[in-house]
């Protein structure tokens, strides 16, 4: 099945979230009324109507180029826009805006420091993010942005206990959507999906803007999907899509859910729509695996080959392959490249995700003894993840530890039987080869 080439290479096709829902009159003040607006206060930026808010701030800054706080606010708006749109060209602009703010006000500029922290996190420089967030908190211990980024950085550095403490503290000082969503994720990583659900429902109850509703509902969907609760997940994704029609993360979640519980056609339709707009390794692999499960090997291979091209491109430009690509490569591409990428990432940050990716890449390269060590590390903090359990079970089977292998393969399928259309199939086959779950 071949789609017509997208005709317009329009910038609007970039928008992933943040449609201007009605009522989200971002940047409305002043700008809309033909007067030069005072700049938006950082705290009052919202995820909706960002383009207009940015326009208003730019207009203001053309008139008042010495306004340090507005430069920081503009930078934060750029970071948010990059997050919701996947447009990376906003990062250098954000960097310039923060630098400008800090040169105008080098001392006590917590807004610019918190903004710079969020930019570092977006670029996956989590140590830099932590450093800047801590600096911002020295100036203003109540900075919501800094408190939130601090949680992100600690999570991505694998410091889950510290992340939990940071999230609890952020919740007690500055409750709100940025903090609730992070606390929910930390709880899930600590193996407490019920707690995560409680917090995310609290966030959903508190969300008012379309972009926040879409984000929180999608997070609820992902949480439910991870526990194999497909009906709950589907309901959450449709809430997200009602708030922001076409919201890609929700579309992807809905697609994966449909594929997981046997509605292949609908699932593939959603995943194709995602990949058309956002051809990234994890999404391409999800679509490829759905094709494969349908028995369409050649279409599947085409998806995997785009991931391969991505990795080739990345290497040619001296960029380390990221974790997602490493996992896809381990399953569907160059296993050696996968191992290199996973090792590099593990050296940068020791998280459950990097441990699992390294374990899987080692196994695919025949190094099962070492692989097991990392698979066990991935299980350490208690995060309930079917793919992790499947990887571990397969590694144990290769090592001849049938009992453990059976236990973990069964646990994977019990938790989330459709965690991956191809992975689930392989898990069932391996379990059968081991004589079934006993």
Partner 1 sequence: MTAITKSLAALVSCALAAGGLTAAGVAVLQPGTAQASSHREAPLISGQPQYDATDVYAFVSPDKPDTTTMVVNVLPFQDPAGGPNFYKFAHDARYDLHVDNNGDGQGDLLFRWTFKDHLKNGDTFLYNTGPVNSLEDATLNFTQTYDLEVIKLKHQKAVARAKLGSDLPVAPSNVGKASMPDYQKLRDQAVRKIGYSGGSTAFAGQSDDPFFLDLRVFDLLYGGDMSEVGNDTLKGYNVQSMSLQVPTSALTESKDQPVIGVWATTHRQTADGDWTQVSRLGSPLVNEVVIPRKDKDKFNASAPWDDGQFLKFVQEPELPKLVEQIYKIKAPDTPRDDLVQAFLTGVPKLNQPPNVRPAEELRLNTSIPPTGSPKRLGVLDGDNAGFPNGRRLSDDVLDIALQAMEGELLGKKNDLGDAVDENDQKFGGSFPYLALPSSGSDAKAVSKSAGQSLLNGGSGIGSSSDDNMVLAGSAAAGGGAVLLLGLGFLWMRSRRRAPRMRRH
Cβ contacts of residue 74 below 8 Å, gap of 6+?
39, 54, 57, 58, 61, 97
Q: Examine residue 384 and tell whether it contacts partner 1 (CB under 8 A).
A: no
Among 99, 173, 344, 426, the residue binding partner 1 under the rule CB under 8 A is 173
Cα separation, 393 vs 391, in Å, equals 5
Closer to partner 1 by Cβ: residue 229 or 324:
324
Which range touches partner 1 (CB under 8 A), out of 196-204, 256-264, 372-380, 391-399? 196-204
C-alpha separations of 107 from 29, 37, 129, 207, 288 in Å = 29, 26, 19, 34, 51
Q: Examine residue 211 and tell whether it contacts partner 1 (CB under 8 A).
A: yes
Name which of residues 385 to 414 contact partner 1 (CB under 8 A). none
Closer to partner 1 by Cβ: residue 227 or 351:
351
Closer to partner 1 by Cβ: residue 52 or 190:
52
Closer to partner 1 by Cβ: residue 357 or 405:
357
CA diameter of the chain: 75
C-alpha separations of 351 from 211, 243, 347, 358 in Å = 29, 33, 10, 11
Which range touches partner 1 (CB under 8 A), out of 59-67, 225-233, 329-337, 415-423? 59-67
Mask for 285-314, x = binds partner 1 (CB under 8 A): --x--------------xx-xx--xx--xx
Please tell me the number of Cα atoms within 13 Å of 200 on its side-chain side.
25
Closer to partner 1 by Cβ: residue 199 or 431:
199
Q: Examine residue 118 and tell whether it contacts partner 1 (CB under 8 A).
A: yes
Q: Examine residue 280 and tell whether it contacts partner 1 (CB under 8 A).
A: yes
> Taking the complex as a whole, how short is the minimal distance between the CB of residue 399 and partner 1, in angstroms?
26
Q: Examine residue 323 and tell whether it contacts partner 1 (CB under 8 A).
A: yes
> Taking the complex as a whole, how short is the minimal distance between the CB of residue 395 and partner 1, in angstroms?
20
Among 101, 204, 209, 257, the residue binding partner 1 under the rule CB under 8 A is 209
Name which of residues 247 to 276 contact partner 1 (CB under 8 A). 272, 275-276
Which range touches partner 1 (CB under 8 A), out of 201-209, 253-261, 392-400, 417-425? 201-209
Tell me the H-state helices in 190-322: 193-206, 210-226, 230-243, 248-260, 264-277, 281-293, 297-316
Cβ contacts of residue 250 below 8 Å, gap of 6+?
214, 217, 218, 221, 237, 240, 241, 244
The encoded tokens of residue 415 equal: 């938790």
Q: Examine residue 215 and tell whether it contacts partner 1 (CB under 8 A).
A: yes
Among 130, 163, 181, 289, the residue binding partner 1 under the rule CB under 8 A is 181
> Taking the complex as a whole, how short is the minimal distance between the CB of residue 368 and partner 1, in angstroms?
23
C-alpha separations of 54 from 23, 61, 73, 184, 186 in Å = 17, 10, 9, 29, 31
Cα separation, 287 vs 267, in Å, equals 9
Q: Examine residue 206 and tell whether it contacts partner 1 (CB under 8 A).
A: yes
Q: Are 51 and 15 in contact (CB under 8 A)?
A: no
Q: Examine residue 241 and tell whether it contacts partner 1 (CB under 8 A).
A: no
Q: Examine residue 37 and tell whether it contacts partner 1 (CB under 8 A).
A: yes
CA-nearest of 85, 115, 87, 88 to 18 is: 85
The encoded tokens of residue 270 equal: 């959603």
Among 101, 112, 166, 178, the residue binding partner 1 under the rule CB under 8 A is 178
CA-nearest of 99, 34, 33, 49 to 71 is: 99
Closer to partner 1 by Cβ: residue 26 or 430:
26
Cβ contacts of residue 282 below 8 Å, gap of 6+?
324, 327, 328
> Taking the complex as a whole, how short is the minimal distance between the CB of residue 379 and partner 1, in angstroms?
15
Name which of residues 61 to 90 contact partner 1 (CB under 8 A). 61-67, 69, 74, 76-77, 79-81, 83, 85-89
Tell me, by CB under 8 A, how many residues bind partner 1: 156
* Sign (positive or negative) of CA dihedral 286, 287, 292, 295: positive
Name which of residues 146 to 165 contact partner 1 (CB under 8 A). 148-149, 152, 156
Q: Examine residue 144 and tell whether it contacts partner 1 (CB under 8 A).
A: yes
Closer to partner 1 by Cβ: residue 153 or 430:
153
Cα separation, 345 vs 339, in Å, equals 10
Q: How many residues does the chain have?
A: 438
Among 49, 75, 193, 228, the residue binding partner 1 under the rule CB under 8 A is 49
Residue in the structure block whose two tokens are 């509902």: 217
> Taking the complex as a whole, how short is the minimal distance between the CB of residue 428 and partner 1, in angstroms?
24
């Amino acid at each position: 099945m071949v789609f017509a080439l997208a005709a317009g290479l329009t910038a609007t096709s970039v928008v992933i979230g943040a449609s201007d829902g009605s009522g989200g009159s971002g940047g409305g003040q002043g700008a809309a009324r033909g007067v030069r607006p005072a700049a938006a206060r950082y705290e009052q930026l919202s995820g909706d109507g960002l383009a207009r808010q940015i326009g208003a701030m730019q207009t203001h800054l053309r008139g008042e180029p010495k306004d340090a706080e507005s430069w920081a606010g503009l930078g934060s708006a750029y970071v948010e826009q990059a997050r919701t749109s996947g447009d990376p060209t906003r990062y250098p602009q954000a960097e310039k805006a923060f630098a400008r703010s800090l040169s105008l006000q080098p001392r006590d500029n917590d807004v610019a420091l918190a903004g710079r922290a969020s930019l570092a996190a977006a670029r996956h420089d989590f140590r830099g993010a932590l450093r800047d967030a801590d600096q911002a908190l020295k100036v203003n211990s109540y900075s919501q942005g800094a408190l939130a980024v601090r949680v992100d950085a600690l999570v991505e550095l694998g410091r889950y206990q510290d992340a939990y403490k940071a999230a609890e503290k952020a919740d007690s000082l500055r409750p709100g959507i940025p903090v609730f969503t992070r606390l929910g994720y930390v709880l899930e990583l600590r193996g407490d999906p019920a707690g995560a659900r409680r917090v995310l429902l609290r966030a959903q109850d508190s969300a008012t803007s379309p972009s926040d509703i879409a984000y929180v509902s999608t997070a609820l969907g992902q949480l439910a999907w991870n526990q194999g609760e497909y009906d709950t997940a589907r309901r959450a994704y449709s809430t997200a899509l009602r708030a922001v029609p076409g919201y890609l993360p929700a579309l992807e979640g809905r697609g994966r859910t449909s594929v997981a519980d046997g509605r292949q056609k609908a699932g593939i339709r959603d995943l194709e729509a995602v990949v058309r707009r956002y051809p990234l390794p994890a999404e391409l692999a999800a679509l490829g695996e759905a094709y494969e499960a349908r028995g369409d090997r050649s279409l599947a291979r085409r998806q995997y080959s785009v991931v391969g091209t991505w990795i080739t491109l990345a290497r040619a430009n001296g960029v380390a392959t990221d974790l997602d690509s490493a996992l896809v490569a381990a399953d569907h591409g160059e296993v050696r490249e996968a191992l290199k990428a996973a090792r590099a990432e593990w050296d940068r940050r020791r998280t459950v995700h990097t441990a699992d990716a390294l374990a899987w890449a080692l196994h695919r390269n025949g190094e099962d003894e070492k692989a097991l060590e990392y698979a066990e590390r991935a299980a350490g903090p208690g995060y309930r993840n079917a793919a992790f359990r499947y990887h571990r079970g397969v590694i144990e089977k290769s090592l001849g530890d049938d009992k453990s292998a059976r236990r973990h393969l069964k646990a994977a399928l019990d938790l989330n039987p459709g965690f991956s259309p191809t992975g689930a199939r392989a898990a069932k086959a391996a379990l059968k080869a081991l004589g079934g779950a006993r």
